[in-house]
Amino acid sequence: FILANQDLNYFETEQDKVRFFCDELGVPKDSLPAKVYEGGPDSKLTLRYFVDKFPLFLSSPFSGAPPVVTLSYVDSGFETSSHFVAHLGAYQGLFRQLKSFRFLYIAAKDAYFQKAEERFRSLVKRPLESDVSGEILRYFQVRRKWERHEYVVPVTEDFEFLTEGRRRFHGDRFEGLYQDWSTGTVTERQLRLEFSQRKPDRPVFFGTFLVQEHRSPVTEITRRGDGCVKDTRNPPRHRSRHPRGDAKLLGT
């Protein structure tokens, strides 16, 4: 991806990324994706940010639009879909702090794109762009259905939403509202009225980038049974599509 898009200005180091989000955009540091590393018995814990090292840069989501921060996920082809879901979960705090952003899904097979878009729409775009009262109500409905053991056939999207909802809507206030809603003390209309004014103006973009497979000269020679002889006359070629061509606004 980077070799095919060398004209982009990347935030390459952890320090560059932290400085950009915290100093330039005013994002609280505790909203950044982080991981704690343990050392020896007597050493202190080390907190590191953006440990995945996926490409992060500024780019226009579509022709004529101003540049927005573009985050990405690189599908190696060896991870399960749960790895992508976990990645989105780790970035939820940052997503909620951004006024607008684009997310780029990078993979070597376009067969992954539709499912990735569906997951992104469900877990990120819809919660950020929709009326939060609708999200709370859906969380209450899915939670009650789960607690009543009404799921005969597992619904992956609902279970993922339930996990994310428990993380987003926790605390005494939401727990009290859930109990009141479950018993009928608080109606759906009252619930919507309480949260209806919290609809953010936050456009969220999603794009895909297909990295086509290529073989190095050494691989080609070995495949033909030529032993370990190197052919340095033909450098490997890298063909791929530019991310600007695949970006789109979900829901349009």
Regarding whether 137 and 107 lie in a shared domain, the answer is no
pLDDT tens string for the chain (252 positions)?
Answer: 988 898 999 999 999 999 999 999 999 998 999 998 887 667 788 899 999 999 999 998 888 888 999 999 999 888 888 899 999 999 998 998 898 999 999 999 999 999 999 999 988 998 787 777 888 899 999 999 999 999 888 788 888 888 888 877 878 888 999 999 999 999 988 888 877 655 556 789 999 999 976 554 433 333 444 443 333 334 434 344 444 444 444 544
Cα–Cα dist 134/156, whole Å: 19
SS3 229: coil
* Residue of 29, 22, 76 whose CA lies nearest to 53: 76
- Residue 209: predicted pLDDT: 96
36 and 101 belong to one structural domain? yes
Total domains, the chain: 2
Asked if residue 71 and residue 60 are part of one domain, the reply reads yes
Cα–Cα distance for residue pair 50/33, rounded to 1 Å = 6
Q: Do 124 and 147 lie in a common domain? A: no
Give CA–CA dist 138/128, Å, rounded. 14
CA–CA dist 231, 145 (Å, integer): 63
Determine the pLDDT at residue 250.
Answer: 52
Residues 32 and 97 in one domain: yes
Are residues 174 and 51 part of one domain?
no
The pLDDT score that the predictor gives to residue 201 is 63
Pairing of strands 248-249, 68-74: unpaired
User: Strand 68-74 vs strand 57-59: parallel, antiparallel, or unpaired?
Assistant: antiparallel
Q: Assess whether 182 and 91 both reside in one domain.
A: no
pTM: 0.63
Q: Are 142 and 162 in contact (CB under 8 A)?
A: yes
Regarding whether 137 and 123 lie in a shared domain, the answer is no
Residues 82 and 193 grouped into a single domain: no
The domain of 24 spans 3-129+202-249
Q: Are residues 113 and 23 located together in one domain of the fold? A: yes
**Same-domain check for residues 148 and 245:** no
Shared-domain flag, residues 24 and 95: yes
What is the spatial distance between Cα 124 and Cα 164, in angstroms, rounded to a whole number? 10
So what's the pLDDT on residue 208?
A: 96
Q: What is the per-residue pLDDT for 85?
A: 93
Residue 125's nearest CA partner among 151, 163, 98, 146 is 98
DSSP string, 48-109: EE-TT----EEE-SSTTSPPEEEEEEE--SSS-HHHHHHHHHHHHHHHHH-SSEEEEEEES-
